[in-house]
Amino acid sequence: MIQVAINGYGTIGKRVADAVRQQPDMDVLGVAKTRPNFEAETALEKDFALYAAIEERADQFAEAGLEIAGPVEDLVDEADIVVDATPSGIGAQNKSMYEAHDTPALYQGGEDADLVDTSFNARSNFDDATGADHVRVVSCNTTGLSRVIAPLREEYGVEKVRATLVRRGGDPGQTDRGPINDILPNPVTIPSHHGPDVETIFADLDIDTLGMKVPATLMHMHSLNVTLEAEPDAAEVRELLADESRLFIIPERMAIDGSGKLKEYAMDVGRPRADIWENCIWEESISTVEDDLYLFQGIHQESDVVPENVDAIRAVLGEADAAESIERTNETMGIGL
């Protein structure tokens, strides 16, 4: 069994911990938190061993009545691999600790690409991570874009991608985020960081991205225009994308007209935390005009990278190939709406 340490037990870390626990070839060795809070209490209620990410704050856990197993360094030393799910920039600070214990590490998309040996998306470049010491699982938006681009490149060839990303202002629990009553170009310059980030997965891709922030918390929304090297009709593209296990093609009959109903649907079908691990592409939005493809897709920013982290663990350690890992992760997590 692969012994997995999870450093950071917040929005991403707690979801990765639950997903790793579901895998038949992995164990959660423990999780690390910087301070006691409701997530630390929940980790113990779920029987995860809890470690102090900052040794100087270890006494705060005792004062809160929470038993810790030790400092995060002990967790890292015993693990086969670490999933660093700390806030942006903290992973870079932790890198030296992972290197000191000779433990390979996964980082999240908020870290700089030059921190790691390779960026990772399971559908697009799984093999690049094999044997790497430091791997970055790209952000929720880059994950969503890469999942669509990969099959299009393989089937038709891609001349250019143009994407407008309408991004939520903050996650539901991020009470300090915004805007509250505004629509912001973010950034106001072009391209947004998402295009260059996608190019860490597809080095030769021509892509322009624009970003916006809106007063919403549920999901991001992408408007895509992809110029292809062939001229398929829309029906062919729908069939191609429907065959992708992490793309949910929303049928018109379901009458899901936005993020709110998508989240309601996720709750109704019993998804944990109402998570949607798949890209959500509106079937009737998939349109073609000559060699230009258009579509809308929703991206659940809190969860779409979770299966990617699971697959990256196997990729780094050489425990499975892409098809085997993706199938195993999908089956255990219940991916496929």
**Predicted pLDDT of residue 206:** 98
231 and 124 in a common domain: no
The CATH number covering residue 291 comes to 3.30.360.10
* Residue pLDDT, tens place only, 68-97: 999 999 999 999 999 999 999 999 999 999
Binding-site annotation: residue ranges for NAD(+):
11-12, 110, 168, 301
**Predicted pLDDT of residue 169:** 94
315 and 290 in a common domain: no
140 a catalytic residue: yes
- pTM of the complete model: 0.97
Indicate which residue of 4, 129, 140, 262 is catalytic. 140
292 and 146 in a common domain: yes
Which residue carries 């938006």 as its tokens?
141
**Predicted pLDDT of residue 124:** 98
| Amino acid sitting at position 321 | D
Binding-site annotation: residue ranges for D-glyceraldehyde 3-phosphate:
139-141, 194-195
**Predicted pLDDT of residue 176:** 87
List the domain range (segments joined by +) for residue 148.
141-299
227 and 87 in a common domain: no
48-78 burial, b at 16+ Cβ within 10 Å, e below that, comes to bbbbbbeeeeeebbeeeebebbbbbbbbbee
Q: Which of 191, 189, 186, 188 is nearest to 208 (CA)?
A: 191
Binding-site annotation: residue ranges:
11-12, 110, 139-141, 168, 194-195, 301
* Residue pLDDT, tens place only, 234-260: 999 999 999 999 999 999 999 999 999
- Averaged over 305-311, what is the pLDDT? 98
180 and 312 in a common domain: no
165 and 33 in a common domain: no
Q: Which of 293, 288, 259, 292 is nearest to 276 (CA)?
A: 259
Cis amide prior to 215 (ω within 30 degrees): no
Is residue 24 over pLDDT 90?
Answer: yes
285 and 185 in a common domain: yes
203 and 278 in a common domain: yes
Residue 313 banded pLDDT, cuts 50, 70, 90: very high
**Predicted pLDDT of residue 337:** 80
111 and 152 in a common domain: no
Rounded CA separation 302/134 (Å): 22
Rounded CA separation 58/184 (Å): 40
- Averaged over 177-194, what is the pLDDT? 95
- Averaged over 38-53, what is the pLDDT? 98
The CATH number covering residue 14 comes to 3.40.50.720
125 and 207 in a common domain: no
235 and 97 in a common domain: no
What domain count does the chain have? 2
206 and 130 in a common domain: no
Is residue 175 over pLDDT 90?
Answer: no
Strands (E), 138-269: 158-168, 184-185, 207-214, 220-228, 247-250
**Predicted pLDDT of residue 295:** 98
Residue 140 banded pLDDT, cuts 50, 70, 90: very high
Over its C-alpha atoms, the chain yields an Rg (Å, rounded) of 20
